[in-house]
Amino acid sequence: MQLNLSSRLQGIGEYYFSSKLREIEELNRQGKAIINLGIGSPDLPPHPAVIQALQQQAALPQSHGYQNYKGVPALREAISAWYQRNYGVTLHPATEVLPLMGSKEGILHICMTYLQPGDEALIPNPGYPTYRSAVRLAGATPVYYELTEESHWTPDWTALEKTDLSKVKLMWVNYPHMPTGQNATPDLFDQLIDFGRRHGILICHDNPYSFILNEQPQSILSSPGALEVALELNSLSKSHNMAGWRVGMLCGAADRINEVLRFKSNMDSGMFLPVQMAAVAALQLDKDWYNQVNASYADRREKAIELLQLVGCQPAPDQSGLFLWSRIPAGDADGYALSDRILYGAGVFITPGGIFGTAGNQFIRISLCATTEKMNEAIERIKIQLSGN
């Protein structure tokens, strides 16, 4: 039977990593044993207290039913306290916090809540591909604003002010920025809030990387007046090594939370209670936890720098997050060419920057989600490739 796909899928292909992982699986079946340094899926475990909380709650007979769409009060209170303690942001746990099954879910929820055909949304280039896909799934049109190395991967305000913004309803931003690792400048969030207020644009800040290799976690909600024009997504995937647990959150004004909840409540149910209680335990961990995790990533970053330098790249300093971003050497046509050269020549996969937008074509990104032993093995493989043996 032949069925036509819905128009909302036009222009939306399969997620790059979904198809690339199948290619890598086929190479592995051929005995290549590919070292995957492409995806930011933490390989370190959560804190033992988090796993214990999951086990204890799962053993209770009353833990397995449907849950409230807004999450249990204990989780919302833990999120609120975590924001106050780490970002200096005060959020009312009953009205300004919405737990999510991962922040990626929230990206689509926001787009489906506010966008429709005829609307536009500002998307960073380079930027997380899901922003573009979610906007298109909502029937709206992405309008790209280019970020450049010269501007430290921050918006060009002069260019934005000259853009026709009459149909723009929301703007996606993300700092520490993925894929470049750029932190927000001291006044960037204030500029974003001012821009959103003047143009009637909802500023949507995606903030999953603020605790990784970053001594000063920041939230856009700490800017004066932010609750009037901004929403923030956050996640435990990277900061607490809980990517597969799917625990995220949306924070913002009560009206915005209720609006998004209208869509979310028609799409899913509440999060599994044991996962919620484990998330409470994670959010109560002290600074020693973050220091321990970051010590591992700092060691891996040194190895990643060594690997990138081997292939002629020089990553910029002071990057935050789970990745290193670097311009490619002049000898390669683009990041795809360099990525494939290393994949097929050394059995090491590094992400081409072009998957994040045209502004990333001359860059590559390497993940820190591999042990130093794996990093060393990747380095040795590339040395062999470069020697021609």
- How do residues 291-319 score in pLDDT, each as one tens digit? 999 999 999 999 999 999 999 999 988 89
Fold of 48-283: Aspartate Aminotransferase; domain 2 (3.40.640)
CATH architecture of 7-45+288-387: Alpha-Beta Complex (3.90)
- The tokens for 112 are 């489906």
Helix, strand, coil percentages in the chain from 3-state DSSP, rounded to 5: 45, 15, 40
Q: What pLDDT, in 10s, does the model give residues 189-210?
A: 999 999 999 999 999 999 999 9
φ, ψ of residue 141 to 5 degrees: the values are: -115, 125
Write out the two tokens for 303: 């190895």
CA distance 326 to 311: 11
Q: Is the pLDDT of residue 389 over 70?
A: no
Q: What is the pLDDT of residues 213-237, one digit of tens each?
A: 998 999 999 999 999 999 999 999 9
Supply the pLDDT for residue 291.
94
Cβ atoms of residues 328 and 340 within 8 Å:
no
- Tell me the C-alpha distance between 127 and 358, whole Å: 10
Rounded CA gap, 378 and 380, in Å?
5
Query: What is residue 102's three-state secondary structure?
Result: coil
Over 70: is that where the pLDDT of 88 sits? yes
* Nearest-angstrom CA–CA distance, 315 and 304: 9
Burial class (CB in 10 A: 0-12, 13-18, 19+), 374: middle
Question: Domains of the chain: which residue ranges?
Answer: 7-45+288-387, 48-283
284, amino acid identity: Q
User: Positive or negative, the Cα torsion across 327, 333, 337, 342?
Assistant: negative
- Please check whether residue 233 is in contact with residue 103, taking contact to mean a CB–CB distance below 8 angstroms: yes
Mean pLDDT, the chain, integer: 93
